[in-house]
Chain A
Amino acid sequence: EAQVTQNPRYLITVTGKKLTVTCSQNMNHEYMSWYRQDPGLGLRQIYYSMNVEVTDKGDVPEGYKVSRKEKRNFPLILESPSPNQTSLYFCASSHPNEKLFFGSGTQLSVL
């Protein structure tokens, strides 16, 4: 089954404790992206990647890191999480001219 898999689904952590949210797709998509969704602010793009080893900043990249060492994986790294990074995070992927497929989301709470 074609899918984008994010883990974990829920995560509670404390300020400053490094964490990684994983994202994997099985559709051989070149394009992958991370978004955060906040009430009243909608979906905002954090980082995106056009292919292996090629990444670029979205609209809200501060406090986040990404890497694309393999085509199927695009992890999101929070080196020192802060409470303002509490949010619902989504990973998505696609071929360049096709539909964007989303993962089920990761609800992150930073205390």
Chain B
Amino acid sequence: KQEVTQIPAALSVPEGENLVLNCSFTDSAIYNLQWFRQDPGKGLTSLLLIQSSQREQTSGRLNASLDKSSGRSTLYIAASQPGDSATYLCAVRLTSYDKVIFGPGTSLSVIP
């Protein structure tokens, strides 16, 4: 059974610091992996989607990598800002029409 974990559970950094969030999954047979952001009491906003054949995706200050063989993905946030404070979740999709399994999330706080 596919399981998704995220480390650390919580992270507090000063503004301007570069940071890395980690996501691990137990079964490498995934279709794609997606990173989301969730603000308190709000829905999830998609940040980056990496297909199983890709190694990384970039959007602005965000860069996500995928290493299927080791069951890992990282989300790199450059020059963090207080507005980046939120919970970040990763999710793996098993097939094109199948379940999407979420990790527990990393709660990020960027201190001004």
Q: Which residues of A contact B (CB under 8 A)?
A: 30-31, 33, 35, 42-45, 48, 50, 58-59, 90, 92, 96-105
Contacts and interface: CB of A to CB of B under 8 A. Distances in A.
A100 B99 contact: no
25 contacts: A42-B89, A42-B102, A42-B103, A43-B91, A45-B99, A50-B97, A59-B99, A59-B101, A90-B43, A90-B44, A92-B100, A97-B31, A97-B32, A99-B46, A100-B34, A100-B44, A100-B46, A100-B91, A102-B36, A102-B43, A102-B44, A102-B45, A104-B42, A104-B43, A105-B43
Interface residues of B, number: 24
Nearest to A57: B99
B104 A97 contact: no
B100 A96 contact: no
Interface string B23-42: 00000000110101000011
Given A48-B98, A100-B91, 8 more contacts: A35-B102, A43-B89, A43-B91, A43-B102, A44-B102, A58-B99, A97-B31, A100-B34
Contacts of A102: 36, 43-46
A45 B100 contact: yes
Interface in B96-112: 96-105
Given A42-B104, A105-B42, A96 B99 contact: no
B11 to A, nearest CB: 17
